[in-house]
Amino acid sequence: MGYEYILVEKKESVGLITLNRPKALNALCAGLIDDLGRALDDMEADDDIGAVVLTGSEKAFAAGADIKEMSEKDFMDVYLQDFITKGWERITTCRKPIIAAVAGYALGGGCEVAMMCDFIIAGENAKFGQPEITIGTIPGSGGTQRLTRFVGKSKAMEMCLTGRLMDAEEAERSGLVSRIVPNDELLSDALKTAQQIAGLSRPIVLMAKECVNRSYETTLSEGVRYERRVFHSTFATEDQKEGMAAFAEKRQPKWKNR
Ligand SMILES: CC(C)=CC(=O)SCCNC(=O)CCNC(=O)[C@H](O)C(C)(C)COP(=O)(O)OP(=O)(O)OC[C@H]1O[C@@H](n2cnc3c(N)ncnc32)[C@H](O)[C@@H]1OP(=O)(O)O
């Protein structure tokens, strides 16, 4: 089955998903979220793919949930459908690493989707924000929670209460994005980074991702204990043997992904 609102490509072991609803600045309508979920299902099932890049256009990663679509809904619609969590959370359950390559606006649900990815690389013109308050609502897909963990209470509170946008430099200073690159290098940089990850041992990459994510869910001592157990588990893999042997023998490792 094809996709209506996204483009899906494979670039040397990396799945590339480009949000493609240009006339609406990639506003996240139900159809787009459905497309995204199905693309991630396909990429998870594809053994050739070791990492995913999610991107938009130079003007907008995504300008938020589709306001026109939302404006039709009443309380019972959103409550009974558990709108907006369902579907969107597919990004957070993807086991393969996902890099958000963000240029332009990443607002409301767009900022939330970027934060659901494993890390964000920003183009110089990127702008992040949770402006829902200006249209009479609040973030509904983790914005108040994830933004606070990324940038701290003071900045998150200001952004959620006023709708103020954060530019790429402030986002980098605040820890929301891992780094900034020129817009015309954004996609190639994100793909190169994803290819680097895809070239490592698949199970070890999954374990590292699980451990970092655990730090959001638990106490420091529980997290450290969890990490130690997973670290021990790496010693049960063929790739840990290969990686360390290759280092000692001064050669490149040949991963078996086992
Ligand atoms: C409520 C929850 C849970 C989550 C949300 O995400 S709410 C939405 C949060 N996002 C916003 O409030 C941003 C809305 N958009 C804007 O403020 C502006 O579009 C802009 C500042 C991002 C860009 O302004 P610009 O003047 O350059 O472009 P526009 O003419 O305003 O937009 C072009 C085109 O796109 C449509 N558009 C933009 N954003 C959305 C959106 N979130 N939902 C639906 N449609 C959107 C906009 O209406 C216009 O299309 P038309 O010319 O056909 O109206």
Q: In what order do the strands lie in the sheet with 166-167?
A: 60-62, 105-107, 127-129, 166-167
- DSSP 8-state secondary structure symbol assigned to residue 15: E
Residues 22, 229: Cα–Cα separation, whole Å = 46
Global pTM exceeds 0.95: yes
Q: In what order do the strands lie in the sheet with 51-55?
A: 6-11, 14-19, 51-55, 98-102, 119-123, 179-181
| Mean pLDDT (the chain, rounded) | 97
pLDDT band at 173 (very low <50, low <70, confident <90, very high): very high
pLDDT band at 237 (very low <50, low <70, confident <90, very high): very high
Going along the chain from its start, the domains and CATH numbers come out as: 6-198 (3.90.226.10), 201-249 (1.10.12.10)
Q: Whose CA is nearest to atom 49 of ligand 1?
A: 24
Pick the closest to residue 117 from 202, 177, 38 (CA basis). Answer: 177
State the residue for tokens 């590339």: 16
State the residue for tokens 């393969």: 96
Q: How far is the CA of 25 from the centre of ligand 1 (A)?
A: 7
pLDDT digits (tens, 9 = 90+) for 83-99: 887 788 899 999 999 99
ipTM of this complex > 0.95? yes
User: Ligand 1 pocket, 160 CB below 6 A?
Assistant: no
Residues 65, 33: Cα–Cα separation, whole Å = 10
Rounded to an integer, the average pLDDT of 203-210 is: 98
pLDDT digits (tens, 9 = 90+) for 89-145: 899 999 999 999 999 999 999 999 999 999 999 999 999 999 999 999 999 999 999
